[in-house]
Structure 1
Amino acid sequence: MLTLKFVRSIKADLPTAWQVIVDFPAYKEWNPFVTRCSAELQPGTPIVMQVNMGPFELEQTEQVTQVEHEKLFEYRMRPVGRWLYSKRQHRLEAVGTREIRYTSYFELRGWLSPIVTLLMGFFLWRGFRRMTNAVKTRAEALAP
C-alpha cells in the first residue's frame, strides 16, 4: 500500500482555491503533474488525465466518486479486482476568512501495489507534492 498526504495552508478564499482544482482545462497552464485533464463534477463520470511521470507521460482514465462543492473532489481508479485500486482526494477547509487548509491525498492498494510503488512510487510522490505546491501558488496568485 502507498499513501501520500500533503497539507498546505493557502492564503485565499474557498471559491478561489476550489476554482483552481476544478478548472480542468487550465491545468496545462500551471500543473506540473497532471498536464491535461477533462472531467465533469458529477459522480460516476470519467476523469481523463495526462500525467507527467518524469521520464514518460501516462494517460489515465478514472471515475469521479464524490463532489462536495468547495470542500471535496474525489476520484478513483477502476479497480482491477483485488489486484490494484486507488483513491485521490482534494480537500478544502476554511481556517479563517482568507485562509484555507488544502489536503492532497492519494492511496494505492491491492496485491500489485508494492510492485507499482517500487516502479513508480518516487514519481507519484514527486508529482503529487509538486501539484500540491502548484495549487497553493496558483490559488494565492488568483486570490482577490
Structure 2
Amino acid sequence: MPYLGLRRIFRAFFLASVLYIILGLNRSIIRKEIHTEIAINAPASRVWEVLIDFEAYQQWNPFIRKIDGVAKPGNRISAQMHLGNRRMTLHPDVLAVKPEKELRWSGHLYVPGIFDGEHCFIIEPRNENQVLFIQHEKFNGLLVPFFTSILAVTRNSFEEMNRALKERSEKEK
C-alpha cells in the first residue's frame, strides 16, 4: 500500500513538472501584474501614518481588514484579505519598509511557485500636500493562468482600498 502513495506523489510531481516546463516556455502565461493608483490630497507623512496603522484597518480598509505583525524587513505578517465575498489569510514576508515611500511584501499560496505575489504600496510626493499612491502586485506561478477572475476581483479590491485610503488620509486628524 505505501507504494501506491509514492506512485501518486510521483505522478503529481511529474505532471506539475511538465506543466511548469510548458507554461515556463511562455512566461507571460504564468505572470500577471495589477497596477492601480490614486492622487491623495494629503502629505506623504499622513498617508504613511494611515497605511502603517494596521490596528485601524478594520475601521476603514475594505480590502485588507486586518494585519497582525510588525512592518519590518524580514518579518512575517498575517494579512486578512477580502476579495469580493471571498476571505483569505496570507502570511507574507516583509521585504521593504521605507517610511513615507514604500511598504513591500512577498507571499505565496501554499507552496512557492504555485501562486506567488509581490505586493507594493508606493507613496510618490507630487508636492508637499499631495501624493500619488500606487498599489502594485506582480503575480507568478503555475496557477496564475487559472486565476484570471480572481485577479479581476483583486484589481477592484485594490481600487476600493485606494479610495478608502484617500478618504481617510484627507480627513483632518
TM-score normalized with structure 2 length: 0.76
% identity of equivalent residues: 23
More helix by share: 2
Q: Match for 2:76 among 46, 55, 70?
A: 46
1:32 equivalent in alignment to 2:70? no
What number of residue pairs does the alignment pair up?
142
Kindly report which structure 2 residues correspond to 1:92-131, keeping only aligned pairs within 5 A, or say none: 92-118=123-149, 120-131=150-161
Which moves more between the two structures, 133-142 or 18-27? 133-142
Partner SS, residue 160 of structure 2: helix
Q: More relative contact order in 1 or in 2 (CA 8 Å, sep 6+)?
A: 1
**Unmatched 5+ residue regions in structure 1?**
none
Which moves more between the two structures, 36-45 or 62-71? 36-45
How far off its partner does 1:90 sit? 0.6
Deviation sequence 1:66-93 (CA, Å, 0-9, x none)? 1111100000104734332111001111
Retained in 2: the 8 A contact 1:36–1:50?
Answer: yes
Kindly report which structure 2 residues correspond to 1:62-77, keeping only aligned pairs within 5 A, or say none: 62-77=92-107
How far off its partner does 1:10 sit? 0.8
Aligned-residue RMSD, C-alpha = 1.6
How far off its partner does 1:20 sit? 0.9
Instruction: Report which of the two structures shows the higher radius of gyration computed on alpha carbons.
Output: 2
How far off its partner does 1:39 sit? 2.6
Retained in 2: the 8 A contact 1:2–1:117?
Answer: no
How far off its partner does 1:2 sit? 2.3
Letter in 2 for 1:10: I
TM-score normalized with structure 1 length: 0.90
Provide closer, same or farther for how the CA distance between residues 104 and 56 of structure 1 changes in structure 2, counting only shifts above 3 A: same
Partner SS, residue 142 of structure 2: coil
Which moves more between the two structures, 19-28 or 30-39? 30-39
Letter in 2 for 1:91: I
